[in-house]
Amino acid sequence: MITISTLILIVIAIAIIFVFWVIWSDIIGAGWEPTSKRLVRKMLEMAEVNSKDIVYDLGSGDGRIVIEAARRFNANAIGIEADPLRYIWSKLMIMLLGVNQQVKIFWGNFFHKDLTPATVVTLFLSSKANQRLKLKLQEELLPGTRIVSYYWTFYGWKPDKVDRIDKIYVYIIGRNS
């Protein structure tokens, strides 16, 4: 039989783990806030994603961007997610939806992953994370690679396309970056 004090300790432990989980995601790049399917589609359309592309989603969350890139645009896609629960969830969704030939998810910090194969990079991070990421993108991505940022811009870079209503910004490496 569980005592009230044991139950209280369990609830407190769960609350602490939950708070740590939320804060941890924010510390490594950005907290998780799912992007609507409409905005995901718009981001990929603005980047002119096609079957020849390799789309990288940095902080891929539940995998919705990489899954949409494969299903709607027939692109190959790679997600990088640091949160183990979201990583597992997205791996499951990729298998269930049958796109595991086109979509791969890697667990880890995207600051420590090689981005050179990307032709399109999508992200919805934070202003601070975008600024930290600028040099890595400039050093690793080939000229012509499209970067699509939802909500947050890159200071000092001029976007090639802007949707001011939905706050989507497309940058092309080698043009204004």
- The pTM score is 0.85
- 115-157: per-residue pLDDT in tens? 999 999 999 998 999 999 999 999 999 999 999 999 999 999 9
- Please give the span between the terminal C-alpha atoms of the chain, in angstroms, as a whole number: 63
CA distance 103 to 97: 11
pLDDT at 22: 58
User: Domains, the chain, ranges and CATH?
Assistant: 37-172 (3.40.50.150)
CA distance 20 to 32: 13
pLDDT at 3: 84
Nearest to 78 by CA among 115, 25, 29: 115
pLDDT at 152: 95
- For residue 142, give the DSSP letter: P
> CA–CA distance from 98 to each of 70, 94, 161 (Å)?
10, 6, 32
- 159-177: per-residue pLDDT in tens? 999 999 999 999 999 986 5
pLDDT at 2: 76
pLDDT at 28: 55
Sort 49 into a burial class: Cβ within 10 Å, 0-12 / 13-18 / 19+. Answer: buried
Report phi then psi at 52, rounded to 5: -90, -5
Nearest to 80 by CA among 106, 113, 49: 106
- 13-66: per-residue pLDDT in tens? 777 766 665 565 555 555 667 899 999 999 999 999 999 999 999 999 999 999
